[in-house]
Amino acid sequence: MTPEKWQDTKVKIKEKFEILENYQEKDEERREDKEILIFNGPAGKIKLEFITRPVVLDKKTNYSRRIGSQVEVEYIYSEDEFTNTLKTYIFDAATNDWQELKAHNFEL
């Protein structure tokens, strides 16, 4: 999903449903920004996460063949290219936790 489509989706959700929470998180370790939107939808409480990460350009693995040595992975990130992901969750009252909705769970 593109950032423009995400903005359009947010506007439509805000027009049709009651917004419970809308906030952003930043994860420095994974170099990602999350915008989280929680609302009451027709199926119950729904959470959308729009995740923006830099594109991984290269992955270097540093290791030694000695026993007990550690493996270190170094990622090279793009400064100007980003990838976007949308994750959808539904609140399960039985487990009191969020369950991720995956596309393969839906049938046509």
Q: Using a pLDDT cut of 90, give the percent of the chain over it.
A: 60
Give the predicted TM-score (pTM) of the model. 0.79
On whether the CB atoms of residues 25 and 34 are closer than 8 A, the answer is: yes
Residue whose pair of structure tokens reads 């090279």 in the numeric block: 76
Tell me whether residue 59 is in a domain. Answer: yes
pLDDT of residue 100: 92
Domains of the chain: total:
1
On whether the CB atoms of residues 6 and 37 are closer than 8 A, the answer is: no
User: Band of the pLDDT at 75, cuts 50, 70, 90?
Assistant: confident
Domain residues for the domain of 41 are 3-102
Tell me whether residue 107 is in a domain. Answer: no
CA–CA distances in Å: residue 7 to residues 1, 10, 13, 83, 91: 10, 5, 10, 16, 23
Tell me whether residue 24 is in a domain. Answer: yes
Cβ atoms within 10 A of the Cβ of 78, count?
Answer: 13
Q: Where are the alpha helices (DSSP H) in the chain?
A: 3-16
